[in-house]
Amino acid sequence: MSKFAARILTLAIFAMALVTAPVVTKVYAAPDESPPPSSDKGKKKKSSEVKPGIEDTTFATGYRAAYASIYDRGDYAAAIPQLKALGRDDNAAVANLIGYAYRKLGDYKVAQIWYERALKTDPNHVKTWQYYGLWQVEQGNRESAQYHLNRIAALSGTGSEEYRSLAAALEQAPGTGLAY
C-alpha cells in the first residue's frame, strides 16, 4: 500500500470515529487532593519549623474551605476571596485555583492572568498546565492546548489524570458544547 493510500485510510478512519462520537461530552478536571505546602521550596528549615505551626494549620484549613467551595459546592464566587485571604496567591496551587474559579465564572481574561501567575511561580505545576490547557480548548486555541498536553506528558506522563483529562478534551470536535 502506498503512503498516500495509507494516509487516506487513516484520515477516513479518524473521520468515521468523529462522526460516531457523542455530540456533547462532559470532561471534568481532577482537583488537587490536598493543600499545597505553605513554605517556600529550597529553604532549609530550622528545627523550630519542622512541626507545622499555627500558620501552616490556618493555611491548610483555609485552603480546604476554598477547595470545598469550588469542588463540593460549585461556589466559585465565594472561593476567590477565600483563596485571596490566604495571602499566598504567589503559591502555584492557590493561583491555579483562583484562575479555575474565574474560568468557571466565565471571566477568561482574569483566569488567564492567574494561570500565568501560577506557572511563573512553578513552571512544573501539572494541574495548572491541565487547567490552562482546558482554558485553551475553551478559547479554541487547540495548538496551544496541545502544547500544554505535551508539557503534562513531559512532567507526569501520559497515564496521569491531568493528561487524560486534557487529551479527552482535545479529542472532541471543536464547538461540541464541552463542559470542563
**DSSP string covering 22-70:** -S--B--PPPPSSPPPSSPTTPPPPGGGSS--HHHHHHHHHHHHHHIII
Contact 128, 115 (CB under 8 A): yes
Report domain extents, the chain: 24-32+52-171
According to the model, what pLDDT value does residue 14 have? 59
| Helix or strand (DSSP H, E) at 76 | helix 76-85
- Provide the whole-model pTM: 0.72
In angstroms, rounded to a whole number, what is the distance separating the alpha carbons of residues 74 and 121?
26
Cell 529550597 found at:
42
Per-residue model confidence as pLDDT tens digits over 74-105: 999 999 999 999 999 899 999 999 999 999 99
Q: How confident is the model at residue 177 (pLDDT cuts 50, 70, 90)?
A: low
Per-residue model confidence as pLDDT tens digits over 29-84: 555 655 666 544 444 444 344 444 556 788 899 999 999 999 999 999 999 999 99
According to the model, what pLDDT value does residue 54 have? 54
* Cell numbers given for 169: 478534551
What residues contact residue 72 under an 8 Å CB cut-off, 6+ apart?
none
Q: How confident is the model at residue 26 (pLDDT cuts 50, 70, 90)?
A: very low
122 or 42, which is more confident: 122
- How does 18-31 read in b/e, with b if 16+ C-beta sit within 10 Å? eeeeeeeeebebee
Contact 162, 152 (CB under 8 A): yes
Contact 99, 131 (CB under 8 A): yes
In angstroms, rounded to a whole number, what is the distance separating the alpha carbons of residues 174 and 139?
10
Helix (H, G, I), strand (E, B) or coil at 136: helix
Judged against a pLDDT cut of 60, whether residue 24 lies above it is answered with no
What CATH topology corresponds to 24-32+52-171?
A: 1.25.40
